[in-house]
Structure 1
Amino acid sequence: MTSDPRPVVAFLSHSAALSGAELLVSRVTAACTRLTPVVVLGEHGPLEEVLAGAGVHCEVLPLDASVRDHSVGTTTGTVGNVRSTVRTTSALAELLRAMGTRVVYTHSAKAHVYGGLAGRLVGIPVVAHVHDIVGASGSSRANAALLHTALRLLPRTVIANSRTTARSLGRLRRPAAVIGCPTAVPATTPPRTSDPFTLGMVGRLTPWKGQDVVLRAFAAARSAGLDPSARLRLIGAPLFGDDALFERELGVLAAELRIADVVDFRGHSSDVEAEMAACDVVVHASTRPEPFGQVVVEAMALGRPVIAADAGGPAEVITDGEDGLLVPPGDVDALASAMVRLATDREARGRLAENGRRSVTRYELAHVVGQIEDVLLAAAR
């Protein structure tokens, strides 16, 4: 790494799971051209294999379970075990020096704290990329206060993935740079060649993602005129905490609504693009504001019309009625009406898909990576 004239940037995350922030890390590091990325993870996991396949150098600095624990709030591990955080910070500082790191680039709430502290300890500028709304419903007020303080004091620059996320960050030393998540926009859209009409939803199976809302809306849409042969595909799997219980509840709900025979629980997919390409319409239904909504831009890039909850990042991406449809979060009747509308109006589907493909080009991978590299190189200087 030392022979490469490009500055070494350490991309830090405590998690090696294939969730939104970590997938962004894998895409961005594989596409960097003006810097040398090294990913430093706090645990072993599937992200390592993805990075290796892309030729991205990865180091694992195992964290104590109290710091790494995914089942707690955003930074409970660092609050609950200061001693572990001190050990982590010290070990990371040594690793950063050994790698000749020029910028520390943090990508998770825990990493914003221990990575920010390590960077300050060795005098390396820190850039924090915030992927989640700080203080979102269900999170700890104490943890939110800690993260607000860390983001104000530790990084030189903060990147937010949406204006919604930026507004949640509190008072910073300078305004956050808003850079959306990258997506690949194929030259042509994959064709939809088979029947029946299919609605799809992609996302972790967890209550706030709203799979239960989609099931209820799909059942209501069938009662309101949706072709009985239409199908619903739920792509995703439980990841943390009580998610597995929610998955079982979804199966029970589908049976109670008498739609189990037309609902496909697809589980985790390593080829989300193929799953969405098999759909006529993609639905996003988070019941609380989404920080960005990666699935929304991915579906638009594939030429699939999107129905999304009118809150958070998706409401910044979509212009209602022009390049997608927006419905109030959690509104079963409104979502059902939108489903019926797009199922019965092929012209509207085509128009929304075409406009969506055009508007989503602002999130093309090369463009977003260029924006991120600009921020990181400015910090390195």
Structure 2
Amino acid sequence: MNTAAPPSRVLVVTHTGDVGGAEIALIRLIGALDPKRFAVQVVTLEDGDLVQRLNDAGVRASVLEVGRLARVTREQTVSSPLTMLRNLRDTVRAARLVRARIRTENPDLVVANSLKAAVLLAVGVPGTRTPWVWHLHDRIASDYLPAAVAAALRSLARLGPRRIVANSRATARTLGRWGHGLTVVAYPGVVESAYRREVIEKRDGPVGMIGRVSRTKGQAVFLDAAEIVAAGTADARFRIVGAALFEDREEEEALRRRTAASEVLAPRVEWAGWADDVAAALHRLGLLVHASTTPEPFGQIVVEAMLSGVPVVATDAGGVPEILDPRGAGEPVADGVRRTRSGLLVRPGDPQALARAIRWTIEHPTESTDAARFAQADAAERFGIERTAAVVGDVWGEVIERAGHRRR
């Protein structure tokens, strides 16, 4: 007779059908969790590549259509009194649909994987007697969100979820006192074998950026720095991998026009477009640049580059210093540039500092190789997906167990 307990049923709710950093983290997490312990299904509020990728991975994923709410941007949330009323109406309607789905599925736990999903669960879960956990992938700060929205989300953190899983200590700190006692940090894990390659002594690939093209991701700063570096380095080449999503398509078009019109940039900068195989894109680079102008909650591409053995220059803000300089031991090597054992950290939004960091890496190949080698080992130890799954699994299991005691 089989007496093993069935797996706990977990329903994950996320607002987008696109595949960004939070969605990649979710896909990797589900793949690493023990299916004998958790049976996970995902509900998105719009169709998209995420649904297909989850279904291809054997994860049950479905779409709960809520109309325009899924595409409301951060700036549009409180853009006018009329917009606020319309968003409130749409939120209540969507929360009712989410509540109905929860009652139909009767999960042991519900997980919000985005800010919008957290709002909907805060409104829709009460009355279902189902506990929920908030996976926080975004900094709750006024440089990322309208101040009123940030304040409301901090209040939600105290009143809604049983626990919060933040993707970095920097993200957790933006909750302030509202997150005390509720928050656990689980760094988004990476499947090491998908990226790891032998560290090459002399990398001749271009200096590159990989990721979504956006005003906040720093492609404009990268082009500024590329112009500076190109003026003094005859053979320097640059590559931008990625494309705009959401509301940033005009930004990408403007940057492409700028590149094509520049006598300096046009022959040096390649716009490679979107890449599904990030590992392959990384292996073609001589240096990975992370240049976000707004502090990143974490910085998955930095970890992926470390595992790939590619030297890294990254923004010294948000969660990135936790990756490259966890002990705060970095030392200045130039104005706005700190050297760590794993790479270089640069002052955000400063193309001069970024150019100095790129030049330093090019001019110090031995030191850069040593840093890449150390970074690869460090990333494998600290950011493996198995460690993430263990932390998240403990949080989910604790919340489910406590909720079961309350029900009994």
Task: Report TM bin, short chain.
Answer: over 0.9
For residue 48 of structure 1, report the CA deviation from its aligned partner. 0.8
For residue 177 of structure 1, what is the aligned residue in structure 2? 184
Aligned mate of 2:219, from 206, 211, 219: 211
Q: Which runs of 5+ in 2 are unaligned?
A: 326-338, 402-408
Counterpart secondary structure, 1:264: strand
Q: Deviations over 1:67-109 (max 9, x none)?
A: 2124344855886433332232222222222223011110111
Q: Deviations over 1:174-193 (max 9, x none)?
A: 24111111112238416769
TM-score after normalising by structure 1: 0.92
For residue 251 of structure 1, report the CA deviation from its aligned partner. 2.1
For residue 101 of structure 1, what is the aligned residue in structure 2? 107
For residue 327 of structure 1, report the CA deviation from its aligned partner. 0.9
Distance 2:96 2:72 in 1: 22
For residue 348 of structure 1, report the CA deviation from its aligned partner. 1.4
Matched, 1:20 2:18: no
For residue 124 of structure 1, report the CA deviation from its aligned partner. 0.8
Do the aligned residues in 2 keep the contact of 1:75 with 1:109 (CA within 8 Å)?
A: no
Distance 1:71 1:190 in 2: 41
Opposite residue 240 of structure 2, the aligned amino acid is L
For residue 51 of structure 2, what is the aligned residue in structure 1? 48
Counterpart secondary structure, 1:104: strand
For residue 266 of structure 1, report the CA deviation from its aligned partner. 1.1
Aligned mate of 2:287, from 281, 285, 295: 281
For residue 135 of structure 1, what is the aligned residue in structure 2? 141
For residue 88 of structure 1, what is the aligned residue in structure 2? 94
For residue 111 of structure 1, what is the aligned residue in structure 2? 117
For residue 256 of structure 1, report the CA deviation from its aligned partner. 2.7
The number of residue pairs the alignment matches comes to 375
For residue 60 of structure 1, what is the aligned residue in structure 2? 63
Opposite residue 38 of structure 1, the aligned amino acid is Q
Distance 1:283 1:169 in 2: 28
Distance 2:84 2:43 in 1: 18
Counterpart secondary structure, 1:217: helix
Matched, 1:365 2:385: yes
Cα RMSD of the aligned pairs, angstroms, is 2.2
For residue 221 of structure 1, what is the aligned residue in structure 2? 229
Do the aligned residues in 2 keep the contact of 1:75 with 1:147 (CA within 8 Å)?
A: no
For residue 342 of structure 1, what is the aligned residue in structure 2? 361
Distance 1:365 1:61 in 2: 29
For residue 69 of structure 1, what is the aligned residue in structure 2? 71
- Shift in alpha-carbon separation, 1:43–1:190, aligned structure 2, 3 A: farther
For residue 350 of structure 1, report the CA deviation from its aligned partner. 1.3
Do the aligned residues in 1 keep the contact of 2:227 with 2:265 (CA within 8 Å)?
A: yes
Opposite residue 337 of structure 1, the aligned amino acid is R
Do the aligned residues in 1 keep the contact of 2:221 with 2:349 (CA within 8 Å)?
A: yes
Distance 2:185 2:361 in 1: 32
Do the aligned residues in 2 keep the contact of 1:4 with 1:36 (CA within 8 Å)?
A: no
Distance 1:367 1:78 in 2: 40
Do the aligned residues in 1 keep the contact of 2:316 with 2:347 (CA within 8 Å)?
A: yes
For residue 328 of structure 2, what is the aligned residue in structure 1? none
Matched, 1:268 2:269: no
Q: Deviations over 1:190-226 (max 9, x none)?
A: 67699844111012111111111111112211223x2
Distance 1:8 1:210 in 2: 40
Counterpart secondary structure, 1:312: coil
Opposite residue 159 of structure 1, the aligned amino acid is V
Counterpart secondary structure, 2:124: helix
Do the aligned residues in 1 keep the contact of 2:287 with 2:311 (CA within 8 Å)?
A: yes
- Shift in alpha-carbon separation, 1:271–1:92, aligned structure 2, 3 A: same
